[in-house]
Amino acid sequence: MDNKQPDSQISQFPNSYWHSHQRPHFSPLIQDESTEVAVIGGGIVGIVTAYLLAKAGKKVTLVEAREFFHGVTGHTTAKITAQHALIYNELIQTFGKEKARLYYEANRDGLDFIRETSKELNIDCDFEEKDAVVFASSAKGLKQIEKEARAYETLDINGTLTHGQLRDLPFETLAALTMPYQAQFHPVKYLKGLLDEVSRLGGQIYDRTRAVKLSKSDNTVTMENGAVLSYDEIVVASHYPFNDFDGLYFSKLSINRSYAIAGRINKPIPDGMYISAESPIRSLRSIPVENGNDLFLIGGDSHQTGKSNPPNQVHFENLLAFGKEWFELEEVEYHWSAQDMTTLDKVPYIGQMTRTSENVLVATGFNKWGMAMGVSAAKILTDIINGEENDYVELFDPTRNKLKGKDIQRFSKKNTSVGKNLLETKLQRPDKSPEDLDLDEGGLVSIGGKKLGGYRDENGELHLVKTTCSHMGCGLNWNNSERSWDCPCHGSRFSYSGDVLNGPAVKPLKKVDEKKSVE
């Protein structure tokens, strides 16, 4: 596999558009503390949960492993919608009409919350009401959209089915299903406003503090630096639960990466939020900017984390080619990717993490749709902690065990795949030595007969790590677009120098000194 960077305008390190806005910074937690509610994870779920609890008068401590918005919330397409591509027909089959309708209402409530709080707190977050549209360009996609339209009618969801060409899109479309009155926004601007409110209400906020161990016997969570946070109740909102062995979450979550680019186009920007019914997925939306020369976002090209074939960089190139072909894309100003998880039945796990841990709550598995649903997750968690009723608790209960045939098949396929991935990665053999690595190139290398992961940065410095995942021992694969080591078993990701980028791993990779490795 060629791990050299192609000659491309998107060959540099990825940079999310949302990161161009000033992000908040806090101090790390360096000494032992106690709190009523510990919230682990500074994405949309964690921040909204902390805000709601602080507003309710709870003593809240919010802890983020890295700097804020380095996770999925800072790498989203930032659509706030109850239209999750094609989902409602499947939900009816899995859960029945009543619960499928509840899923819709939960997402609608999340959208309403963002709209209302942005007004109430005077947060300028580029909130714009938009139609959400799923479109088909093939006969297969057409049939799927017609089924989804019938599901909308069954569930009394406001939506419109149209056949033929969409005027806003330059390529052929056969049908589209539109859900009106949805929205898009700038997640960093919005959540920064909520963080300001958490601080004003007395909440404690820490970043660069990674939680590594949860002790249910004495209600403590230990950080990587040794600091201990005692709690009465804890919310695990770290995207992938850092304590995933509780409840065996590693066995019931599938992890994928998807990609996005943003740049200026020479055609009118479509006035809506679009997503294709077929694969490869193409997700489209505008990004308003201050000078009025808006950017156009193109997303899609997903694959299982750690298992990209071709190399990861090609996915960005695919989006670039699509933009140039259909929208006269001039240049890519930003490009980034995100990591998303899907549960066995495609409905998030929100609530009590296991049957035996009443004061440990979790939210995970948003299936790429974490904005509106992430807010509703925070409301569910807050109501549970406050002892209040919530209509959505049963639907999202993480301890639900009514697996149907498709769910059992997904469970078996996923865990069989893990064993296969473990074997395949262990059997990989390097075909290079460190001297073969060019500047800004990485991959498996051999030193003295030892298999190591190597990356030579743009200054010529060589970075060597052991490519055994610190989570459960799987071998890692090189990601040439983000210069990271990715695990195909459970989705952990590490920087080229070994630092944890994505869980469930909490420990870094072992670094190797080149001189000592040949002794």
Residue 508 pLDDT > 90, yes or no? Answer: yes
Q: pLDDT-derived band of residue 306, with 50, 70 and 90 as boundaries?
A: confident
Residue 426 pLDDT > 70, yes or no? Answer: no
CA distance 86 to 152: 11
Structure tokens at 404: 């149907």
Q: What is the pLDDT of residue 518?
A: 47
- pLDDT tens for each residue of 272-305: 999 999 999 999 999 999 877 899 999 999 899 9
Residues 6+ apart with CB under 8 A from 276: 134, 135, 136, 137, 141, 282, 283, 300
Residue 412 pLDDT > 70, yes or no? Answer: no
Residue 419 pLDDT > 80, yes or no? Answer: no
Residue 410 pLDDT > 70, yes or no? Answer: no
In the CATH scheme, what architecture does the domain 427-516 have? 3-layer Sandwich (2.102)
Q: What is the pLDDT of residue 406?
A: 56
Q: What is the pLDDT of residue 404?
A: 59
Q: What is the pLDDT of residue 409?
A: 57
**What are the two backbone dihedrals, phi and then psi, of residue 331, each rounded to the nearest 5 degrees?**
-155, 155
Q: What is the pLDDT of residue 7?
A: 42
In this prediction, residues 480-506 reach a mean pLDDT of: 93
Q: What is the pLDDT of residue 4?
A: 47
Burial 287-312, CB ≥16 within 10 A → b, else e: beeeeeeebbbbbbbbbbbbbbeebb
**What are the two backbone dihedrals, phi and then psi, of residue 247, each rounded to the nearest 5 degrees?**
80, 5
Q: pLDDT-derived band of residue 9, with 50, 70 and 90 as boundaries?
A: low
Residue 193 pLDDT > 80, yes or no? Answer: yes
Q: pLDDT-derived band of residue 6, with 50, 70 and 90 as boundaries?
A: very low
In this prediction, residues 344-372 reach a mean pLDDT of: 95
Instruction: Evaluate whether the domain defined by 126-180+253-342 bears CATH number 3.30.9.10.
Output: yes
CA distance 5 to 481: 8
CA distance 190 to 485: 31
- pLDDT tens for each residue of 30-85: 999 999 999 999 999 999 999 999 999 999 999 999 999 999 999 999 999 999 99
Q: What is the pLDDT of residue 514?
A: 67
Q: Where in the chain is the domain with CATH 2.102.10.10?
A: 427-516
CB–CB of 91/107 below 8 Å?
A: no
Q: pLDDT-derived band of residue 11, with 50, 70 and 90 as boundaries?
A: confident
In this prediction, residues 406-427 reach a mean pLDDT of: 52
Q: Where in the chain is the domain with CATH 3.30.9.10?
A: 126-180+253-342
CA distance 337 to 473: 25
Q: Mean of the per-residue pLDDT values for the chain?
A: 92
Residue 387 pLDDT > 60, yes or no? Answer: yes
In this prediction, residues 95-114 reach a mean pLDDT of: 98
Q: Where in the chain is the domain with CATH 3.50.50.60?
A: 31-76+188-251+346-401
Instruction: Evaluate whether the domain defined by 31-76+188-251+346-401 bears CATH number 3.50.50.60.
Output: yes
In this prediction, residues 223-237 reach a mean pLDDT of: 98
Q: What is the pLDDT of residue 427?
A: 55
**Helix (H) / strand (E) containing 342:** strand 329-343
List the end-to-end C-alpha distance of the chain, in Å, as a whole number. 29
CA distance 475 to 425: 5
Q: 448 burial class (0-12, 13-18, 19+ CB within 10 angstroms)?
A: exposed
Residue 448 pLDDT > 90, yes or no? Answer: no
Q: pLDDT-derived band of residue 433, with 50, 70 and 90 as boundaries?
A: confident
CA 239-225-422 angle, to 5 degrees, is 50
Q: pLDDT-derived band of residue 401, with 50, 70 and 90 as boundaries?
A: confident
